[in-house]
Amino acid sequence: MEVKNPYTHHIIINALMRGGILPDEVCQNLSEWVKVGYNTCFDCLEGRSSLCHKPPVKKHLENIASFFGGDAAEHTFGCRGAQFAVMRTVAEFVIENEDYCPTIIIDPNSHYSTNIAAEMCGLVTIEPPHSGYPEYLYDPQDFQKKINEVKEREGKLPGLVVVTHADPYYGNIAPVEEIGRICEGYEVPMLVNAAYTGGLLPIDMRQMKVDFLTLSAHKSMMSVAPLGYVVTNHKWSKLLFATSEAKPAWSGRRFGKKIPNIFGCSIGGLPLISSMLSFDRVKERVKHWSEEMAKINKFIDDLEEIEGIMLLGQRPHQHHLLHFETPKFWEISQHHRKKGFFLAEEMIKRGIVGLHRGMAKHIKFSVYGLSPEEINKVKEAFYEIGKI
């Protein structure tokens, strides 16, 4: 069976992909690792990839933790695996601690995987409101109100507050530091889901006053999927990264190096190798976030010159994920033989891929990391299609 990528030479504008595109030199270096799936396991001595010294996975995780202002990190099966690890830790914590309950507060723009992880671990979720159309913002004080509501209703504090650093719907950057200060005052643990930000812009857990940080390497750290990281501080690391205490009765076996919260030994192989190879580039590019945002906000202004097109979310925008209301393209789709599929197809004809097929009334995409020439090509393509 022949399997080819038809978009090798296209400009990619999918917001899920822009932050994860591998540098050319990393792609070249990966060739020596692709022959074997378990390519991090040749010299594993302790039965857990995060303890490997050759390749230097253990050192890499120490560097990840330090870079994001934490004390300890583990790699996970994507960011959802990282969130599950935190949720399971909190579920155990509230059972043992009478001052906390299994109700957790999650921001109203959270990714579905956050809510699924909570559901899997038996946690009850509540949300503060957002402002609705067209910005969908929320007030840090509403988190404080929810904490007080839980405390009054349950007689205990919520087990966790979860904030999505940049949400996957509008690209709004959350007021994490303000919410962090509120949580610190109540001594409620806080998780920041940085799937769309970690590796793109500067992040310091200590400055945010958060206990857990979850990351998506393939969304925001120039890595092959699926790979995530969970980072925490000394206070929580012993519980989050507690090793197995299981001892089957008949065999008496022990699995003392395995971490149950990350399914024993987490994903190694090509995703992990790619992240290790890209990490120096990741550390460098976060220094240029303000330059990227200047280009992106200029692009927003230019695209809104098309009649009726309007950005949803924060202004000025603070993230690369863009969500536009596009009545002009919706109007065209009503008379086009391909209906809502026409827009993505017209972009592909022009060498640009990444718009969701079938969507014309609203579109989400990103121009992060594109050259000025590439950004102009994307802009001109939208201009041309608007005249159909």
For 79, half-sphere exposure in the C-beta direction (CA atoms, 13 angstrom radius) is: 27
For the residues of 119-170, what is the DSSP string, one character each? HHTT-EEE------TTT----HHHHHHHHHHHHHHHSSEEEEEEEESB-TTT
Bigger pLDDT: 340 vs 136? 136
The contacts of residue 69 (CB under 8 Å, 6+ apart) are 203, 204, 205, 206, 207, 208
Please say whether the beta carbons of 320 and 292 come within 8 A. yes
| Residue 37 confidence class, pLDDT cut points 50, 70, 90 | confident
Q: How far apart are the first and last CA of the chain?
A: 38
The token duo for 347 is: 């972009």
User: 190: burial class by Cβ within 10 Å (0-12, 13-18, 19+)?
Assistant: buried
Helices H / strands E in the chain, number of each: 14, 12
pLDDT, residue 45, reads 87
Give the tens place of pLDDT for each residue, 201-236: 999 999 999 999 999 999 999 999 999 999 999 999
Pick from 182, 172, 177: which is nearest to 192 by CA? 177
pLDDT, residue 183, reads 98
Average pLDDT score over residue span 237-262: 92
Rounded distance between C-alpha atoms, residue 231 and residue 211, angstroms: 8
Query: ∠ at Cα 255 (251, 258), nearest 5°?
Result: 160
pLDDT, residue 261, reads 95
The token duo for 43 is: 């010299």
Rg of the chain over CA atoms, in angstroms?
A: 22
Rounded distance between C-alpha atoms, residue 382 and residue 380, angstroms: 5
Beta bridge partners of 126: 105
Average pLDDT score over residue span 320-325: 98
- The share of the chain scoring above pLDDT 70, in percent, equals 100
Please say whether the beta carbons of 146 and 179 come within 8 A. no
User: What letter would DSSP give residue 322?
Assistant: E
Helix (H/G/I), strand (E/B), else coil: 17: coil
Query: ∠ at Cα 373 (372, 379), nearest 5°?
Result: 90
CA dihedral 291, 294, 298, 299 (to 10 degrees): 60
Is 90 exceeded by the pLDDT of residue 42? no
Give the tens place of pLDDT for each residue, 288-306: 999 999 999 999 999 999 9
Distance of alpha carbon 200 from its chain centroid, rounded? 11
pLDDT, residue 219, reads 97
Please say whether the beta carbons of 113 and 266 come within 8 A. no
Rounded distance between C-alpha atoms, residue 110 and residue 166, angstroms: 9
Beta bridge partners of 157: 100
Output the average pLDDT for the chain. Answer: 96
pLDDT, residue 1, reads 86
Average pLDDT score over residue span 81-109: 97
Please say whether the beta carbons of 103 and 154 come within 8 A. yes
* Phi, psi angle pair for 118, to nearest 5°: -65, -45
The token duo for 323 is: 């969500």
